[in-house]
Chain A
Amino acid sequence: MPTVRLPALFRERCGGATAVTVEGSTLGEVLLALDRRCPGIFELLVEGGSIRPELAVAIDGETGSYLLDEPVPPGAEIAILPAIAGG
């Protein structure tokens, strides 16, 4: 099952956990499953069906702008981080 690593300020929604392992084979399924464990977190991360533009998601180390139907391999590690810009 995929594991989601949570940013520090979102952890209080998940009882202080730094990472939560949940079911799901797409990014959207994983985040919905996460929301059942940590109520309200889906809405925090997703706006209008997409990951908020201020945020980036890394799946197994690959940071990108993913759709919610992005396949997530079993055992994948997902991190949520601020989007950044280069010069």
Chain B
Amino acid sequence: MTTIERPRYQVIGTRPIRPDGVEKVTGRALYGADVRLPGTIYGRVLRSPHAHARILRIDTSAAERMPGVLAVVTHRDLPAVADGIQNLGETAVNVRELAANLLADDKVLYHGHAVAAVAAVSPHLAEEALGAITVEYEVLPPVLDVREAMREDAPLLDESRRTKNIAGQVVGERPSNIAMHHRFEAGDVEAAFAKASVVIEREFRTKMVHQGYIEPQNATAVWNQDGTVTIWTSTQGAFAVRGQVAELLRLPVSKVRVVPMEIGGGFGGKIPVYLEPLAALLSRKAGGRPVKMTMSRTEVFQATGPTSGTWIRVKAGADAEGRLLAVEAELCYEAGAFPGSSVNAGAMCMLAPYDVENFRIDTYDVVVNKPKTAAYRAPGAPAAAFAMESVVDELCRALKMDPLAFRLKNSSREGTRQVSGVPFPRIGHEECVRAAMESDHYRSPIEGPNRGRGVASGFWFNGGMQSTVLVAVNPDGTVNLIEGNTDIGGTRASLAMQLAEALGIPYEDVKPFVADTDSIGHNDVTGGSRTTFATGLAVYEAAMDIRRQMVARAARILNLPEEDLEYVDGGVQSKSDPSKRIGFKEIARQQARTGGPITGKASLVARGVGPAFSTQIVDVEVDPETGKVTILRYTVVQDAGRAIHPSYVEGQMQGGVAQGIGWALHEEYCYDEQGHLLNANFLDYRIPTALDLPPIETVIVEVPNPAHPFGVRGVGEVSIVPPLAAIANAIYDAIGVRFTDLPISPRRIVEALYGGKEG
């Protein structure tokens, strides 16, 4: 649906075939693991069998003596890294901790923590060489749960760690696993609760879950004889890899060239480096041979960023008319082995759908003996929304109020202050709720035993950050669009479409190309739902650059003053006599004679980010015998601002929902008491299959972002935020049991219905 009349676009809103499509359906597209260089040798990583242990001794001599083994590295081989901070887009990463996560220093902090790496002439030989490395450990008691880790008597991951505030200032005197505490507060919470006629308070738990991209991490690196390093890898951000590798190896960024290969999914998990610096170090030790490393699926689960397990308490109060008066919350997020969970993002998202004046939210970032978390699609938001949207559902039931009517009544809108104090620009939550209310799904009755319906809303900020694009006009009138954002899900198409629209030329005449870090200016990651918005802005600016040059060239060809000319519909014409006109292709053909090649460029920090909201409806049926939950029907409503390529917008909406369904119903990291990850494979860590999911209905709402020439908001992340609560609310509606712990697995449902442990 369109809420504001759409300008007449030629390309935007159509559904052309993506430029990289044929290569990807024929198997010719080259992903990181497909790189094959002459003389390649293979790297493998030795990982800790313990969740928490002191490393007493590492002996690599036997491995080094094996024929065919060309290099072995441990933490000692990492160039000494000071305790510096490097800005990875919006993620602040402590380089010392990045180094200690890459290869354990004096302690291993989780099962699967890298201890050493080996390169050999075959992957099998490298694997055998790992077995020849001796590591002596002093095993320490692990702490695996966020609430346990916050206790004063908990085992400490780092005895020097003190709790800090968001400015990095120490606020706790004793050593602690709580790395950070922050508070968001406004109004008078106690007075507001005193006026409430309904108050609900609940505690929630969610488990660590993984991004679950199908392509494992990979890297191929060459340490060239001139001291430069070249890295081929599948990453969300070639420049982020370059920056991290340069910091870790103490090289100037100009010595590191990163060639981004196609990427097989990321969802935030392919921003940190795991293999790239190891491959580079192994290559240096092996005399400059190319070193190729790929992770096994087990390594991906054990040692790459999942998202936090959480404990969240929410107390919310409303008056008899259904006005949300006050919210008090505590959010405790597992950061994994090193600080840096997305707990503050969770706090800043959970109340975003609402206009509530009185709140106090305390956040705690807590280290535990599990892998260092990484961003995962709207990082921090889904768990917080699970808690808040479940409590809102209970408020609505107590008030006997339709849950969408409650959300509409309390909805945030332009000017509403977020919990950070920042007022919202134009947003589309109300429009999403209305579209959900008007949907065929919500108007259809849900009937039958053990069936129920749930709804929830969700928010994500979306990102801006830095982008660069170059545009070159070919003599045949086509254009090359050179950009630096790897294409995870159709951004070549969404950027090419914006360029075609801005230039008034056919989409097929735009040829997008993703360049390496030596070939274009800086680009931040393909992440934070930023690329179609922010790189799209750069594309638009570069198109304006081209149009200005086209006018100047046309002036020479038509022999008219530039002031009399304007760029209209893919050509330049006289303002005074529009019959004097020359088309894009003709100007392009004559460029050599009118001043040489026509190229445009734009580099910018994107301002005017348009935040995203989604409201979702789900119908479920619970089998009381087996505890199995069947998703009968699912509708996702989302404000896209403007859908450039609606099919890929729908794809983002459906993909986020699918991940949310997995998170709600069956995905979780399972550990034993010693901290061993028990389900590090796709059989035991079950992501949804085609058979688990229904058709996912999509409703695209378009409330244009006024700060983007085509109205684009980011669309990549927000759809994963509502499903957790929507499904829990639907299960309550179906069987009358309120689940506050995820996943709501068949076992938990059966136990809740027939006794045993509590739900």
Q: Which residues of A approach B to under 8 Å, CB–CB?
A: 5, 7-10, 18-19, 44-45, 47, 52-56, 58, 61-65, 77, 79, 81-87
* Set of chain A residues within 8 Å of B342, measured between Cβ atoms: 84-85
Docked complex Cα distance between A72 and B407 (Å): 36
23 A-B contacts (beta carbon < 8 Å): A7-B184, A8-B183, A9-B166, A9-B183, A45-B167, A53-B87, A63-B422, A64-B607, A79-B420, A81-B421, A82-B344, A84-B348, A84-B461, A85-B88, A85-B90, A85-B375, A86-B462, A86-B527, A86-B528, A86-B529, A86-B717, A87-B266, A87-B378
Query: How many residue pairs bridge A and B at CB < 8 Å?
Result: 118
Chain A residue nearest in CB terms to B527 = A86
Known contacts A82-B166, A85-B528, then 8 further A-B pairs from the complex at CB < 8 Å, ordered by chain A residue: A55-B166, A55-B167, A58-B420, A83-B90, A85-B271, A86-B89, A86-B462, A86-B463
Q: Kindly state the separation between the CA atoms of A52 and B87 in the bound complex, as whole angstroms.
A: 10
Name the residue on A nearest B466 (C-beta): A65
Query: Is the beta-carbon distance between A9 and B182 smaller than 8 angstroms?
Result: yes
Q: How far is the CA of A65 from the CA of B607 in the complex (A)?
A: 11
Chain A interface SS verdict (over half):
mixed
Complexed CA–CA distance, A49 and B443 (Å) = 57
Is A79's CB under 8 angstroms from B421's CB? yes
The B contact surface, by secondary structure, is loop
Q: Choose among A8, A47, A87 the residue with the greatest number of B CB atoms under 10 Å from its CB.
A: A87
A contact residues around B271 at 8 Å (CB): 85
Q: Once bound together, how far apart are the Cα atoms of A65 and B90, in whole Å?
A: 9
Contact of A82 among B89, B182, B267 (CB under 8 A): B182
Determine the residue in chain A with the shortest Cβ distance to B184: A8
Chain B interface size range = 35 or more
* A62 in contact with B461 given A55-B167, A85-B528, A86-B530 (CB within 8 Å): no
Cβ distance A41 to chain B, nearest Cβ, rounded Å:
9
* B713 interfacial contact with A, CB 8 Å: no
B168 within 8 A of A: yes
Known A18-B186, A86-B530, A87-B528; contact A81-B268, beta-carbon cutoff 8 A = no
**What residues of chain B have their CB less than 8 Å away from a CB belonging to chain A?**
85, 87-92, 165-169, 171, 181-186, 211, 266-269, 271, 342, 344-345, 348, 360, 375-380, 420-425, 460-464, 525, 527-530, 605, 607-609, 716-717
Considering the complex, give the chain A residue whose CB is closest to the CB of B211. A87
Most A C-beta atoms less than 10 A away, residue of B267, B423, B529: B423
A8 to B361, CA, bound (A): 10
B92 with A87: CB separation less than 8 A: no
Q: Are A85 and B91 in contact (CB under 8 A)?
A: yes
Give A61 to B427 CA distance when docked, in angstroms: 13
Is A53 a contact of B420 with CB atoms below 8 Å?
A: no
Q: Report which of A8, A47, A52, A58 forms a contact with B422, defined as CB distance below 8 A.
A: A58
In angstroms, Cα B605 to Cα A87, docked, is 18
Inter-subunit contact B377/A87 (CB<8 Å) = yes
| Residue numbers in A under 8 Å from B184 (CB-CB) | 7-8
A58 to chain B: closest residue by CB: B422
Known: A85-B345, A85-B528, A86-B717. A53 touches B92 (CB 8 A): yes
The 10 nearest A-B residue pairs measured at CB: A86-B528, A87-B268, A8-B185, A85-B91, A5-B421, A81-B420, A82-B344, A87-B375, A8-B183, A79-B421
